[in-house]
Structures are given as structure tokens and as C-alpha cells.
Chain A
Amino acid sequence: MDFTPRQLDAIDVSKAGQDTCVVAGPGSGKTRVLVERYRRLVEAGVPPQRILAITFTEKAARNMKERLAESFREMPERRRELEQANVSTIHGFCARLLRENAVAAGIDPEFRVLDARQATIMQRQAASDTLDALFDADPEAMRRLMRGLASPDLEGAIPDVYDTMRAAGVPAGELRGFEMDGAIGLPELRNAMGALGQENLFGWNASQVERLQEVLAAALRVAELPDGPVTAGHFRVIGQFPTSLAGLKRKTDSYTRLMAIKDDVLPDVYRTLITEYYSRERATLIAVIERFDRLYSERKRRMGTLDYADLEAFAVGLLDENKGIRDHVREQFQHVLMDEFQDTNGQQSKLVDLLRAPNRFYAVGDINQSIYGFRHADPEVFRAYRDRVESDGKHLVELVENWRSRAGILCAVETILHLARGIEPRPLVAAKEFPQKLEAPVEVIAAIAETQEAALDLEARWVARRIVELTESLQLESGQAGFGDIAVLVRNSEVLPMFTRAFEQAGVPYLLNQGKGFFETREVVDLTHLLRAISNPRDEISLAGVLRSPFTGISDEALMRLKTAGNLGSALRRLDHLEMPFDPEDLRKLLRFREQLVRWREARDVVGFDRLLMRAINKTGYTSDPGSRAAGNIEKFLAMAREASTRLTLAEFVEEIALMRDADARDADAPPEDAVNAVRIMTIHAAKGLEFPVVFLAALHKGIQTGVGQLAFSPRVGLGAKWRNPACEDEKGDWYHAEIREEAGRREIEESNRLFYVAMTRAEEHLAFSYSSFGKRKEWAAALEEALGLDLSVPQQRVQLVDAPNGDRFPLRVFAANAPPAPRERTAPAATTVEIQIVAPPAVHHQHDSAASVTSVALFAHCPRRYYLERYLGWRGVNPRNLRQNQEDEPDDELDATGFGLQVHALLAGQSIDDATAEARKLVTAFHASELGLRAAHASRSEREADFLMAVEDIVLRGQIDLWFEEAGELVLVDYKTDEVKARDVAVRAEFYAPQLRLYAMALERITGRFPHKAFVYFLRPGVAAPITLERTLLDDPESLVRDFRQAQSTLDFPLREGEHCRRCPYYRGLCPAGSTVADVVHASAVNREDLGGDEAGLG
């Protein structure tokens, strides 16, 4: 598709030298324009590092990079340069800027960005801690605050205003600075009353005159209120002013003035006075927020984390305070491109202003699509920029062609929102050619009933029916419409349950993307409770949840039986001691689950929580179809668990989940995969940026409650709150609050219209409106009926032509019913279910270590179990003399390899050691003097400390031969030992070392090509050389030893070899069961142990 003249104008790089503003209507191909602009800049020789492109979402950023990469497909060099291109969201950009200038910004260069969930929890925690601290410090002030505030439960309110402040870029420190300007007080009231009372009462009857006197008196009492400190008395007096002026003569000067006083002046006066009355409490409130700010920031700092708002705040601070850095950044970016500029907030626009040099800014946006006010987006930013560009005669382009929707649809949009507040009148020019079609592209469906519930139920059913009809009749550009082409968008997700139910009944396959309630979804709840049960099975709710879930699936009878034995968890432990007539199937399930639970608990903190869960899922067959939303949620939860394992223990993680669930259950559920042929159901906000061939805009009668919270903030006004009237029960906002409410009111109407606009413009070929009609019509439904001149309070069906304000006409299908659709045999859900491959786990063998030290093998020969504990697992025994590292390459048994042994060996190896002990030297000299020593000295060939690698079977053995020498044609192998051993025990002890020496012999044979004739263990302390027989016996040859060694490892079977030596073994009666009678070690069984009596009453 070529570019239109307007698009060409927008991407014209010859105009790159000036600020540019592109107003891009829906479907006007703005991303394409943005990408093309970028591409042309690069082609014009601007290196990507010098272009900064900022998008609103990460998705958009990636999308843009992808398209760029695509467009440079032919130019690998350019494509490579994209590596370093700066295309990101504002947050992405800030993060990079801050890492690069961490020192100047005063933050941890390795900061982690808090995800929204964690931030919410931390904020709530900080809020409640702040309140407690302040209450502790000054209870009286806080009590006054409590008494004053209309709703003093501040824990949730503080973080909310705080967010608003930060989005606007107003630091807590500035809160005190906001003044009431233009506030109306008693003086103004007095003026207003000025001429009152002078009216000539001609034509007033007696009672009217009397009434007038009353009212005037009341007004006078107010006017006479003393200036200076405001007291409760003031409000009593104001409270006495009549709420109605009934009884006065209308259409008189006095009447109008009093009316004005009552409705306009007095309320203002009240606000002013209440603000003054509570000024002290207001100060306290601000102090709370300031302290909260300090505490929350400090905690983040200690954790080395920043939240999203910090990224912006610190970046603004950095550029604002460091001219050097600011200049560098401006200098670096020759061009700044910004998408969705209408969605930026105050803070972000500050940032943009700081980083863009004059005439380098290229902003794309559309006020009519600004729908993120609730996230503090401020469309004024865009408006102001556009107007400036226009007035300065810079480069302004309007893209009005729409390449998405049928003309009829666009026509309807223009008709419905003609002159609507917040919508800038701009034509939507249908640019795309569609084949002719029979159905009207736009339709309205109304369901009529007494109550809202009944009507909504009816509406949902008719929508479901209509969807089925369309899938049978509607021809789309792509062919016959399918479920996958259809999206149902709602504004208020409260209605979703109705629709899902109706769709199930009508057999309409759907994918619900609630965009929240992640922690409430079945699968997440199940996994959460499993973790809780693993953490502590005494939590009966969680355990019962798991037992009833597919993880176990026992009957409620079994549950009841179990409970009769006391706490469920403890009963489960004692299962085999309970004589209870469990149903055999239940019992099997319970036993199996108990077995699993024990294992999961043993592993609970050792393996990642995700692995724990995957094991559970595997073992129990808790499944979900890949691609389904459930699977998506499980995967999302597993990812969360995986991340959490790096920060938390399981106990902490389950706590965190609980907090997240309470603090903000709005966490988005996993979006479903696209492949599936099902109707998408989602909120309009979730649909921003998407488009669908067929769109149903449902429940138009249902708005969302907006309005201003008890605490509120606006960058223009400051901090406002609702306070108790000290004279009576009622509650009203102070001056600030009132101002904010007014402001918000205006914004909400405008934004509501824009949301409607965005919603309608998602549709490509067919747009259907639906709503419930029950007595008075509300919200968008009303706007719709008015704009299209419909009255659907009675059943009807027709197609009519509607005149659009621009003179065009479009066909509209109108349908209203007060009865449910006639039943129709249900079409089975046609969602194409993906077929799943089931694979069997492979057969696994040979899982032995492929390398080992000779001493390990020797130790194995001595006692497999000891080898297992000491070497294979690497656990220390309890014998204090044995607390040492496993120096695998050192000669080694439980008495050797102390520092002393090492010293002696070193000396014997001929190294010089300055701090060698006399004892050691003595032993060494003794050896040199010994017969063996002398022979070695005269050897024709000899080597000390000869370390080697050699493969036996497929195992690579490493070892070190203390000494070998060749003398008188005899090859001799020697291994020194510093054991404390009596001469008489030498023979026995030598046997223990035999396997080691046989392996050395083998190595020596391979090294020298000759098998040693003799081998000795030389015990240095008694000075005895014990000969070792090297002849292989059937039972005992190195290869078979190594084979056993390997076998034991592969099967993980390490038998005990009990005997005398056990007493010298550090594992005796400890980790090794040998000789163990005392429960001196925590046995695995302890995990099950439970005072058999149980511990609580069972069923009451």
C-alpha cells in the first residue's frame, strides 16, 4: 500500500528540522508512518543511536523495532545498527538513562525495577507503618485527624493520592504550598447580602413577608458570624439556613439573591470555613503523606529497587539538576519521536521537555483516543503542543483517512458522537475498499425487562444468539465470519458473568480476558493452596482445598472422617493409626497424597517453588490444555513462583501471595492464545490498539462509578479531603476537594465519550451495539438512542437509514425484544481444540559420576555408605576431628589429611616449609633413614607426588602417588600415612588402604609400562612399612571395584558395611543408621511424627 499525500507529508524528512505534530485518527496507519519516518531518517544518514523513539507500551516498542528490522532486511549493516537503537517505552528509556548516570542520580547502579504487584504491597505496608508510627508519636493529633476525616481509614487512600501526585510530578514536599485561591468566605457572603432587605415588598402576602424575615434572619446570623478562628458554632449557624426557600415570593429580587446565596455562596462559604476549621488536621494529614513518602522511598532504597514512578521522577531530577548530562542527552538525540503523546502524564511531559532540544521533536497522537485519565494521562499536554506547533507555523499534519473500518461504521461513529464533549470534530474518511454486503454494517440490540438483572440476562442471550446467526450468515472480506472474528467489548466488567453464562448456554465458544482476578482464578487458587498446605498442613482451609481439588480428589465423606480425628493436617499425618472405615479409593488417594506431601515438604525450600509445583502437577495429573487460559494462568503463576524462589522462602512467598491477593486482586489474568477459534470477551481498555472484523459493544447501559475519593489530589489544586461537619453528622469535602471534584467531573464526561469513540473504532466490518432497557435508560445507551433517534422501549425489528451530520446516510439494523430467543438446538462449541502430544518419560541409566578420586573409590571399597555420606553427598559427620574440606586430591582417610599430614607430605615431596613443626621434620628424617627411604634415595628413577588421571571403565580417576621408584630393576610404590597407629595394628590398617594402592599400581603400570613389583603403606609414626599384595584376586581387582562403584551410583544403593571401624566413623549412629538406637538424628520419619493422640477436638 502506498502512502497518501498526508502520510507522505508526515514522513517527509526534509521537514525534520522543525518540531512536528502528527494528529493520527484511528486506523490512519500511524505506526506505519512512524516506522517509515524513522527509516527515512536512517537512510538520510542519521545513525540509529542518535534517534530516540518512545512508545506507550513495550508491545508497541517491540512492534516498531520488528518493523524497522523488517524494513532494513536488505541492508544487513543498518539492521545490525538497530542493536543499539533507542526504541523503548518512557520507562525503558529512563531505566537506561539512570543506569548510565546512577552516580549522579544517587541511586544503586544495579537497581531492580519493582513490579506493580510488589510496589502495591510495599506501599500499603509503608502506609500502615507510617500511621502507626505517627499515632505512637502523637496520639492526640492523630485522634483529631481520625475524628475530623470523613473516612479516616487511610491505608489505601494514601498510596492512591501519592500515585496521582507522582504522576503529576509533584513531590510530597510541595503539598503544603497549595493555597485556596478565589475561595469565598464570610466577607463575600456579606457582599452578596448587601442589597438584601431593601426590596420593596409590594405584592408580598403576609406569610411570604414573614417567611422572608425568617430567611433573612438566618442569612444575617451567618453574615454576623465572627471572622477569625472558625468554631463548631459557625457550622451550627450555617446548618440553620433553610434548605428550601418555599414560601417566598418567587421571581423577586430577594428570592433570586437568596437562591444564589443558598445554592452558590453558602456552599462555598461552608467549604472555606471547613477548610479553615480543619487546617490543623489538614497539616497532620500532609505530615502523614510526607512521612509515608520518606518511609517508602527509604525501603526501596535499602532494597536497591525503584518503582515505575521513581524511574520518571529520578530521570527528571537527573536531567533537571545536571546541566552537563542534560546537554549531553540533548546533543546525543538528533531526533525524538514520540507515539501516543496524548497518553503522557505531567511527569512524563516534564521529562520530554527536558530531553528534547528545540525543533527535534516529532509527536504522534490523537486527543480523541485519550482514555487513560484514570492512569493520570493528561491530554492537555498534547493539545498544548499541537497548538504551539500550529501557532508557531511548525509542521502539523492531520491523518484523517481510516484504513480499518467500513464507511457505514465510521458514519455511525460520527453520528453518535457528533458535537460530543471531549471529542474534537475531525472527519473519519473511509479509505479502505470493502466488498459490498447485504447486512447493515451497524446494528442495535435492546433487551427490555422490568429489572436490570432480567434485562441484562435477556440482552446476554440475544447477543449470544446474534453471534451464532452472524457466524452463519455474515460474509467478511476474509470469507464466512467465524467465532474468532468476533469480539465482545464491555465498559464495566461486572456484567461479564452474565455474558459468559449466556454463551455457555448457547454453545458459543469464548475466551474471557477479564484483565483482572488472576489470583481468583480456579487454577491459581489451587496452586496457592497447595503451596500453603506444603508450608503448613495445619492450615485446614488450604489442606481441605487441596484434598477436594484434582491434586487429591477425595470425597467429602473422607474429608469428614479425617476431621473427626482432629486437625486435618495432623490427622493426615496419623492416617495409618486412624481406624476409620474410609472408602478404599479415598484411602488410596489419601495415602498417596500424604506420601507426596512428605516429599514436597522435604524439598520445599531446596528446589524452586515452580519445580515443586511442576512435580505436584506431574504426580497428580493436575492438567490444563496448552493454549487455554487456565494453562496461561498456571504458566504465569509458575513464572511468578520461579522469580519468588530467588527472593523468598516458601513461608514468605505464601504470605506475599496472600498480601497481593488482598492488596490488589486486579492483577491481569493471562491473555488467551490467538490460535483458538472463539469469541474474545474483554473490556474496552484491554482492546485499545486492537481491531476485530466484528465488534459487539455490549451493556451500553452500564457505566462505571467514577467520582473522587475521600482523599484526592490535583496538580492544579492540591490535596483535598472530605471532613465531618463538626455541628452534625454529615460529611463534605473541603475547598480543595470541591475544586478537584469539579475538575474530575468535567474530565470524566469527556473521557467517557472518548472511550466510546475508541470502542466503536475497533470494528472493521460489523459493529453491533447492545443494551438492557428497564425503565430509565442510562449512560451510553441514552446517548446512542438520542443520536440515532431511536426509542427501543417496545419490541421491534427493522432496518432503517440514518442521516449522518455530514449528509451521508447509513443503514442500521434495529432490534428490540422483551422475551428470550426461541430455543434452538445447541451447536457444540466449535473452538478448535489443539491436539496434545503425550510423551512418556525416557528410560534413564548410567547416572554415575564420570570422574572420581582414587581415594573416593578406596573409601567406597571400605564402606559404600560412608562414601555416600561423605563424598557423594558431601555431608560432614559429627566427629570434630573430621571437620575439614574434602581435599579430594589429598591422600585421605578419617585420621589423615590434617594440616600436619599435609605438612609431612609436602616435606617428603621435597618442598621447603619454613614453619614446619619439629615433629613433622622428625618423621621425615626418620623415613629418609628407613630402608625404604634409603632405597628411594638410590633409585635409578623415581617420582614424588605424581598426580595422574586415568580412565577405568568409563570413569576418569584422579590420584596422586606419594612416591614410586625403580631400584635394582624393581618398581616400588609407596604411600605415606601419618595415622596414629600402634605397630601391632599396622597390618589391619594397611588392609584398609590396599584398594587405594592397587589402583595406584594400575596407574603406575600405565605410566611406566610396567606393573610394580612391590607396594608399601609406610606408617610414619611407628615407622613401619606395611607391604600390600598387588595380585588381583577374583573378588578384588580394581576394575570390578570401579564397576561396583559405578553401579552403586547408578542405582543410588550404598549398603552399610558395619564393623569395628564404624566406631571411628563420623557418621556412626548419626547420618548412618549403623548402631543407632537413640533418636539422636532427625529421622525422615520425624516429618510424620505426631503425638498420636492428635491435638484437637474433631467434629463438634
Chain B
Amino acid sequence: MRLLTGPAGSGKTFTVLEGLRAALGRKDSSVRLLVPTATMAQHLRNEMARQGFVFSPSVIQTLSRFIESWTVDLPQVSEPVFHLLVEKCVRRLNHPAFAKVAHLAGFHTKLAQVIEECSAAGCDVGLLREQLPASALTRALADVFEEVKRELDTQKLGLRATRLGVAAARIAKAGTEPVKTIWLDGFFSLTDPELAVIEAMAKQADVTVALPSDEIAAATRARLLAIGCEEPRITHERVRPKPKLFVAPGIEREADEIARRILEEVAAGRSFREIGIIVRSPEVYVALLRATLERFGIPARFYFDSILTEQPAVRCLAGAVDAMLGGWDHEQTLRIMKLAPGVGVSAPMDRFEFQVRERLPGAGLEALQQLATEVCADDQWFLRMLDRMAELDAWRLLTLKPAEWCAQFATLRALYRPVRPRDPVSRETTMEWRSQAQALDAFEAAAAETARFFDPETKLSLEQFWPALKAALRLTPLRVADERRDVVHVLSAYEARQWELPVVFVCGLVEGQFPRYHPPDPFLAEQFRRRLKEHGVRIRTADDVEREERFLFDSALSRATASVILSYPKNDARGEQNLPSLFLDPEEAVTASRPVRVQLGEAAAVAPASVIRSADLLRVLEQTQAEVRPTALESYLQCPFQFFGRYTLRLKGAPERPEERLGFLERGIIVHRVIAEWLTVRGPIEEIFNRIFHEMTQAKFIPAGYKTELFRAGMLADLRRFAASECWPADYQSEGEIACRFELASGLGISARIDRLLKTPDGRGFVIDYKYSPTSKDKVANQNLLQGPLYWLAVERAFGLQPAGMYYCSLRDGLEYAGWGEQPAWLAGATIKAFSREWLESAIERSVRASQEITAGRVEPAPSDLSKCRLCDFKDICRYQGVAVAMAEGA
């Protein structure tokens, strides 16, 4: 047995591959090259094949795959199943020490991890018990550990370590035939069980192990030497390119800079496949790099798993089951439906969604089906999707064998049926389709795994099977197949170890990311790990972790043959300053990233001046002026664009949330209707209010609840106050809610709905406009308001009375009159201005001008009172300078 040691990049792999080439050249099929990961194996296989060799894939494989044939009777327990086993054992033992956390998913995950770690380190239950202080925690840990082992044995499943052990024994006995020569490469530390296998192989075959000479591999090396490895030194030392370092303001800009430099390299004649990006913290960089490289048009291949449960396909399927179990909560159900390809973005779906959202909250599928037949009867596909979901309801009652459940879940696919591909299509899109197709397959695979966990003959209910499947889904990674070659390779620091590329970027060199922050272990605290270590158990301590990070860093640096570019962001995503990695050489010269932008599809569109000029449209505007409401003119005076949005375009946003449905407007309407009716019928105002309030809650789907009650009580109190305070002389003739229309100027008709008109016996008229607001004083002062004067005119022109007063009457939290004209005794104390011609004329003048400007097509945003913008429905779209800052201040 031979041991090849040398620093990263010293050509160990090269030597190994030389040997392999020679063998393949001889068509010698008795050789094996064993590597740690499947990706590495595949990478090397393809390299070899491209060099013209024809050989069986099994020649280059992972160690685990290699021992398969010796352990067919002890299949490896899959991660999901193992996790479920641990969970089961925790439940069974029901240890008081775990009582508070026994139901937490994260707890099971960590527990499973530590058990696996222990067994890989060859630390069995006994050792744990004897080495660790007899605290409740460690006792519980050991007991679960023991129980899990028992479970595995009864189910005839093995952890990796166990299987290695078995394989080692059998190889030692039966030999490695037909394999005669074995190389192991790409490992930096080997666990005891792995070493056992190697030792066994070495008895039969010619074994060579390549190891880095770094500290990290010291322990492994020592053991190998101890079992009689000879160690020819590798002298060949490749000159490493000197690393360059750049810093960017933030991660986005860091990614931009990497893209920029890649494009420079490519422009200088490099092909994409000669470039790699090594990522240590995928959770920070992978998504970002995907987006950025795509944006710059750089083809890239990511050697990372994505999370299955984040895939829309899986969200859709799993979501459907959850929604069903939750009684088809409408909001939840909508979300799932929107995920369905095609249907989810179809016009009927859009319409349906808003219809449903207007009625939220709600539950039950029938209601949705009913609505669907009303809203989109024309769309079979849409209805069919709902029917398919309806079929799920039957699942509640099923009790099936695990395998039958798998079959059942396989039918869920029908909910996520792809759209017929459009031609031509972009590479990104095909990749997206691919990932969803594979997500669906993975979903079924997870179901199959889950089935393996249960006894095949026992019938289970959905409540038993589904939680297990969900756990399995959480633990099933998704690696989307992508075998393109001429792409930039985005690799994890681990995968990168077997690669050599001319240009390598290593990004995210900040503390916590590279080196990575390793959260402490809740079961085996550092001091315990140290103690176990002292007793020869090769479990990882903080120092090992730190060493490993350093090794990964050095190895990353040594992947490049031509140039290696390191980088880090000055600030993190929240704008907090980062601490540059302590691995970075303090002497390193740092360059700054350059602002860069990819050439854009086209220059940003500039909206033309905001004005209506075309004759046909102007005609439309003119028509609206034949009959205009004072409030509309007021809106115009506040801002032409507001008027445009509210009265010309009548833009309608998304439906409001349930808690918002009883808003200002609605409450105003209720109060007005109640008053109008009360003025005619009088009698107890409560009854009128209760009826009208009820009607409104029905019509607007206003949910009952604290807030609604608060508003209800408020309105009722206000109305009672109003009724009680009725002060107008009985001999005044009073009418409510009268519509009227009069000509203000030629072509300008004012139409108004007057809340209350009081005629005095001597033919004078008072108008009252009720406001559901706390005060009305301010209205008298406000120059932009027209209601007052225009109503005044209405009294004269529409009702032929002698105007005597126009008053606002605000009702909320107290009654307050304010207005113009006479000040009758019963309105003593109210803010009432004397009538004046100028007042009337200026109002007419402003109205006419407003109307003329409207018909002339003036629509640009120009608020007369910036502070009112806060309440404007169009503040987000008018793009008026200063609205944003003002809004922020309102915040």
C-alpha cells in the first residue's frame, strides 16, 4: 500500500490519473479509482472518456458505491428514513430531558446528525456513556442512539459507517476480485471505518491513497503509516498563480465584478469552461450568482443541490394536500392554483383570484367551484383543476399500504401539468422546465422512501403517511441535471478539490462565510468533543473545523493554473459592514470593483409629457364635463392627475384585505344612508343603522371581529348623538339625499347629491353636507373646496330657493357644524362665515377653469397640497417628485 502526500496542487491527482490512463490503455478493467463524491467521479469519468478511453463507469466511482457489492444485504439507510427513525425512537423513549423539544423538526435533524457523526467516528453508545459526564442530556442522547441502532438492525438497514465495517470484514475474507489495483484520491481525512476498508483492500489489492500534506490530514496519515503504508514523496510542485484580491461595496456588486472579469477573460479568448467560481457559503451566493451570471448572459453550471420544498411543483402538490387537510382555506387554495403552469397565469385565473379575494376569508372547495362556474365557465381547464383538487377529499378516508400511498401520491402530478413548450425558447426556460420535471420525480422518490420507513403490510391513514412524507420532502435534495460543458463552473469548496481550471474566482471572503461559521452542537458541546478526542475518538472539535476551513481555502487557491481572483463585499445584504476573512493575507493589495452594467435590451423608456391631445380622447373628456360632481372638480384642484386616475380612468386596484373593507368610504356610505333614511322615516335610528350596517357587511364581505365591532359601535354612537341633537325647527321642510343638476356655465353642468335640504316656510333654503370625519372647520378654510359654494348655487338654481346657509356637519366623535351664511341660534358656536359674492364668484371661476383645463386634456400630477398626497390612491404611480420623501415622513 502506498501513500501519496503533497500540498494541494502538487500533482497527486496527476500521478494517480497517470496510473489509471496506463491501465485503461492496456484495457485493464481490474483497476478502480475511488473518490469521495459522485460529482467528482462523473467529472473524472468524462475527462477520461474524452481522452479516448472506452471503459466501464464502475472504474471510477465513489467509495460507498464500491462497497455496494459487499453489502447488498445491508442497504444504506437513506437520510429521510434515518431521520424518521430517530424521530420515532425519540417518541418511543419519551425522555424527560427531551420533553421540551421532542416535537421540533430541527431537533430531530440535529440529533440524527450527531448520531451519524458519532458512528462515523467509531464512537459507539458505550463510549459515549463512559466518556461523557452523566448529565440528563447525554444519558438521553445515548439512549436514543442505542434505540436507533436497534431499529436499524431490525429493519436491516445500515449507516454508512456500519456498512463500511461490514464491507471491511467481508473484503478481508473474500478479497476484492476481480479488482487488483485501487487508487483513492480527493479525500483529505478518512474516518476509521473507511480506513478499515482500505486496510482490508490492501491485503488483496495494490492500494494507493493520495492525501494532502496539510495539518488537516495528519491524523489520517498517521493511521495509514501505522498500518504499514510506504510513502514516496511527491516532489513535483506546480507554481501557483499569485492571488489577486478585490473588494466590492456589497454582494450584488461583488457578483457584478466577477461577471465583468469573466467577460474580460472570454473576450481575451478563454472559453467559459476554463473558468470556475468557488463558493463556500451557497446560501448567500448561489442564488445571487445565478441571477447575476444570467443577467450578463454568462452560461454557468451550478454544482449545488436546490431545496426540493422550495420548488413550485412541490409547493403546489404538497400545498394541495395541506389545503385539503385544512378544509380548503381559500387564500391557501388560491396560492396553489396560481402555481399551476398555464392555468395559474391564465386570464380566468386572474379574474377568479380577485373574485375570491374580495370574499376572503373563506373555506371549502364547493364555494370555489361554485364561483368558478360563475366567473370562468368558459374555461374547462380551469374547472378541471378544481375537480382534480376535489378528488383529494376522498383521501382523508383512505387507509392504504405504504406502497399504495406512493401510487396515490403519484397521481398528484395531474395538478402540475406542464404547458406545451413554445418555440423558440430560451435556455433559461428549458432549464426551469427541467428543474420542475425533476422536482416532480423527486417528489415521487421521496414518497417511495417514506414508504420504506413503514411496515409494507400495515395500512396507514393519510394523517400517518403525510407527515412522514413531508419530513422526507424536507430532507430530499434536488440536483437538477445539467451536463453542459462550455459553461462557467460554480462549485462548492469541497467539490472543487478535484478540479483544475485556468481561472478561478473565490468569492465571499468574509468572516462567517469563508471561513464559515459553524453553529455549536446542542448535544456534544466543545468540551465533550475535546474529551472524546483525548480518548482517541476522531470526532470534530472546533480546531478541526477551523483547520478544515483553512484547508478548503488553500485548496481553493490552488485550483487555478493561470489566475485566481479573491473577493469580498464591504457590506452585507443589510448594509452592515463585513469583516474580511482572517484567511486573507493582510499584506494583500486590494483593488476596488468597477461599476458595470450589462448592455441593456433597450434604453429605458421615457414617458412622454403627461397630457391628452388627441381629438377623440378630448371629446371623451368633454362629455364627462356635461355633468360633473363638485367632488370631482375638487379632486382636480388638488391634482389633475388624481382626477385623471379617479374620474377619467377609474383605476381599480387589487381587492382589499378583509380587515380593510370597512374603510372610510364604506363607513361614510353607511352613515349617509342611515341619515337619509332617518330623515324621511325618523323613528329609532338604531334599527335603521343595524339593518343598513348588516346589508353593507353582507355586500362587502366584511368579517365580524373586534375591529368591525369597534367601527360599528363608533358609528352607532355618532348616529345616536346626531339623532338626539336634531335641532332644526319642525316647521322647516327637510329632505335627505336629493339629486340635483344645474348649469354652472355653458357646457358645464354640475350634478350633485345633496345630503339634506331644509326649506323654511318663507322660501329660504339651507343645505347640509354630512361628513363622517371628526371636524369640518378646516373645510371652510380650504381654498380648494367647491362643495360649499356650488351647493349654495344649487339651492338657488336647482331648487329656486333663497340660499340661507350651507353647512358641513361632521359626525365622527362629536357633532360639529361649519359653513357659510346665517348663524341660527341653534348653531351658535359653530364656525360660520358670512356669505360673500366674491366667495361665490371665485368658486365659479375656479370650477370653470378646472373644467376647461380638464377638457383641454391637462392630466399631469401637480398637487396643490403635498401633504394630501399621502391619502391619494395614485401616489405610487403619478411619479410626482417629492411624493416619496413626503410619504416617508408620513411613515
Contact = CB atoms under 8 A, between A and B. Distances in A.
Contacts of A563: 649-651
A232 interface: no
Interface string B596-633: 11111111111111111110110010001000000000
Nearest to B429: A603
B430 interface: yes
Given A642-B288, A670-B575, A1007-B27, A606 B432 contact: yes
B483 A852 contact: yes
B345 A103 contact: no
B234 interface: no
B485 interface: yes
B419 A1083 contact: yes
B607 A876 contact: no
Interface stretch (B184-192, B201-209, B334-342, B775-783): B334-342
A620 B334 contact: no
B106 A304 contact: yes
A136 B445 CA distance: 45
Nearest to B887: A520
A850 B46 contact: yes
Of the candidates B54, B339, B445, B814, the one having the most CB atoms from chain A within 10 angstroms of its own CB is B54
B620 A1099 contact: yes
Interface string B284-295: 000110111011
A172 interface: no
B291 A608 contact: yes
Given A103-B522, A649-B315, A837-B596, A540 B350 contact: no
Given A99-B520, A131-B705, A837-B595, A493 B605 contact: no
B486 A541 contact: no
B484 interface: yes
Interface in B87-115: 97-98, 100-101, 104-107, 109-110
A188 interface: no
A645 B891 contact: no
B174 interface: no
Interface in A97-122: 99-104, 106-111
Contact of A542 (B42, B55, B653): B653
Contact of A108 (B107, B299, B579, B603): B107
A84 interface: yes
Contacts of A1071: 418, 420-421
Contact of B882 (A108, A324, A497, A1007): A497
Contacts of A845: 486
A346 interface: no
A500 B705 CA distance: 44
Given A536-B350, A627-B249, A1052-B425, A83 B582 contact: yes
A949 B294 contact: no
Contacts of A101: 522
Interface in B619-658: 620, 624, 644-645, 647-654, 657
Contact of B885 (A324, A497, A617, A872): A497
B663 interface: no
Given A552-B605, A581-B614, A621-B603, A1099 B649 contact: yes
Contacts, number: 510
Nearest to B866: A497
Contacts of A1079: 380-381
Interface stretch (B4-12, B741-749, B869-877): B869-877
B483 A850 contact: yes
A492 B104 CA distance: 46
B307 A553 contact: no
Interface string B413-431: 1000111111111011110
B769 interface: no
A649 B335 contact: yes
B546 A834 contact: no
A645 B287 contact: yes
A102 B101 contact: yes
A877 to B, nearest CB: 11
B105 A304 contact: yes
B888 A1090 contact: no
Nearest to A500: B885
Contacts of B707: 128, 131-132, 153, 155
Interface string A247-258: 000000000000
Interface in B267-299: 267, 272, 287-288, 290-292, 294-299
Interface in A857-895: 868-869, 872-876, 883, 885-886
A103 B98 contact: yes
Contacts of B542: 84
A18 interface: no
Nearest to A1067: B420
A516 interface: yes
A848 interface: yes
Nearest to B315: A649
A665 interface: yes
A1087 B429 contact: no
A39 to B, nearest CB: 15
Interface residues on B, range: 35 or more
B884 A602 contact: no
A56 interface: no
Contact of B291 (A514, A516, A614, A875): A614
Nearest to B311: A606
A906 B350 CA distance: 53
Contact of B427 (A146, A852, A1052): A1052
Given A65-B511, A874-B438, A951-B50, A550 B598 contact: no
A846 B598 contact: no
Interface in B830-847: none
Nearest to A844: B299
B886 interface: yes
A5 interface: no
Contacts of A1073: 420
B515 interface: yes
A973 interface: no
B525 A100 contact: yes
A68 B425 CA distance: 54
B353 interface: yes
B771 interface: no
B596 A541 contact: no
Contact of A1082 (B249, B419, B483): B419
A62 interface: yes
B614 A557 contact: yes
A517 B887 contact: yes
Given A539-B653, A539-B654, A607-B428, A106 B101 contact: yes
A958 B57 contact: yes
A437 interface: no
A949 B57 contact: yes
A494 B573 CA distance: 28
Contact of A606 (B436, B577, B611, B657): B436
A678 to B, nearest CB: 16
A951 B24 CA distance: 14
Interface string B196-221: 00000000000000000000000000
B253 A1083 contact: no
Interface in A1072-1096: 1072-1073, 1079, 1081-1084, 1086-1091, 1095
Given A100-B520, A1052-B425, A494 B889 contact: yes
A525 interface: yes
Of the candidates A142, A610, A668, the one having the most CB atoms from chain B within 10 angstroms of its own CB is A610
A651 B340 CA distance: 13
A147 B441 CA distance: 59
The 10 A-B residue pairs whose C-beta atoms are closest, nearest first, are A517-B888, A553-B605, A1082-B342, A841-B297, A110-B106, A106-B100, A850-B485, A626-B595, A665-B891, A131-B706
5 contacts: A99-B520, A128-B705, A564-B620, A847-B487, A1082-B341
Given A109-B519, A540-B652, A544-B645, 13 more contacts: A496-B889, A514-B885, A521-B888, A563-B650, A581-B616, A605-B339, A611-B291, A621-B602, A621-B605, A635-B250, A639-B573, A642-B288, A947-B58
